[in-house]
Chain A
């Protein structure tokens, strides 16, 4: 079958073989959970429990604030130890609810789910919001917002993102192989919300088993399973839409502007749990991998597990890690230590040695244009970064810095090891800050 794709991009070694064949294992529960109240893009949740309260799994411990926000739930049953700022994957100290597990892992009492046929789209979306479902590919954008397009923006295509183009990560791959039921249940829910939409599951061609499995499972339905060319960032939302539909999300716009909704496959499985089983999001699949870990694994993890616990579960470290990364090596976030907790966006814990990092001094740009060829947003990264370095924000903006999707292809391919995307990221933040202050 023809492989769809986008223009630009790179081919990093995918290093998925370490964990691709490892079935999902349930991660043993730690004694203590640290549940950040800020786990999504948008306003953080407000704590609604206090030290000494006992909580059940799935109970709301943080209330949502505003439309682009979701509540936070207890990942297990136990007692709230304290609500205080704790190290957060963002690098800051942010409010978190610390829960001492009671070992019973008891679910709260939730009403029996209504049958899907009796639900209106608005009720479904509200259930998804209350269950705390966010984009689980790593962006953690609240799912219900994407599922609530205004009436003037009809949705004709729903794309399930099973691309997993980040090297090393195999969580979505395993989920598609092992939990197709949950995934397809979720498709049913999405079809209830968008009854007329074409549903496409996009999977990178390096996962032929997942493609074959889902194609077989979808043989009798209208759901299309399409293989996509193996190229990073094939799973970036705009690039995926371009590959599948040929449409481009307008600069500064959203997929819904061109009638498309994209959800990560993990998110869709969580939507099924939320709507059909009335279970809030308290766990996800996460790949623990990298050359500094003893045994790479795909783990079903709860939210709020300290990373050190995941390392122990995977047999400990084999080497001094040079970097601790939450997510993949291209867009993941480096961590200061292993005391930060997992969140809903933790698609992977990657422990790289210093050798993997290939650290180098920056050299002068030789204008080789590899960044230009690699840029999937079709920008001139070297030019924007040069202006960013000089704080010439007008020029950086004029060269469309704000259209950068921060995929990192430019920095990856730069022979002079210039921190291109890092500088562009800085320029974007400075441009946006200037806009906000008027």
Chain B
């Protein structure tokens, strides 16, 4: 294992907290200063991220790099054990990019009731939690970071959200907390069943094999609920539409782009490598829930009248593809899933940005009240069209490389999994893509084409806020738009980082 520059990850993870401490002492009234400090902190964090990206040894992407292992809570045999490999790197880096972009966007978009100081501080704490989750190599450390994102997001939705914010935030919190409680019990069971020696993931991967199959299946079940709530998988998804709809734009973007990935990441990093036998037993059921999620999400989308709620349901469908890829337990499927996670982060994050800007201009997200955006705000309209195309999986854009290989991988799942069942899943998932094209194009068509509706047409007094994309939006959005194209045209850029690490993860399944 490489351990040069082992300070890099700790600095990258905890730097946002330094910004938080500085911001605590800034006067609340000086909003520009607090925002600036927040953005500078996020930018500095991203700089550390870029340094990590440069220092990362791509020829050994399957191995843990920048490893650090320090004593933390020795009594419970948990240590501060961190590292980064090809699977964590894209998500770790993405979390830094998204946080910075969201903060830039927030420069003149702090949602009501204002108070940018608290808003920026919460985003920085979120960043620490997200980055920390992706580098943890110890289950307790993972758990602490995993939970760290809970309160900031709760407040973000509950304070700065829409009308139903209190209900949505509480629902989000209770679902996640219930999931984590079961997850923690599963972690403890794992700890005792492997001899109560260590919480370190490599140790557990080595010793998890010795647990009896029945016990494995129970432990996996606990983790499954914890991670599936976060993903979210059908039938644990009901918190998501509420949370997304009520959250402020920034909250929705972070939620879609990063937080949902904590769940899928947990499957790939913890549940599957440590408990391979149980993973095999669970895989057909996970696959089934995944395709139910795809179809259910798509049908849900077709029934929505609110743009943001529609995007939220499309998230359920997209995460269904990711979980389908994971459930095949093949290198092909897992690669697709990992790619899909990043692509979904970029695209759906972008869609939520657009939805937020539409709301700001039209003060509504009701699809039937919107029309003719291409005439009134052509740039915003086209960006929305572009994102809708990317989201439905148009070849040449990033979404395609998450969706198409995931479907394809179900044709030939790992040895020991029921082939016919997975082929049936493949067919259903493929039908899902048709629905996806349907609802996304339908949404785009209804909102962007045609003439502006009477209430928003010029001279009716409701159009004073309607203007095209402003410069903060350009700065925040361009990196995402570029990335969607770059990864769409040249997916190898990410696959070559992912593939070796996926191979290591699936060692127990013979590659």
The yes or no verdict on A and B being binding partners is: no
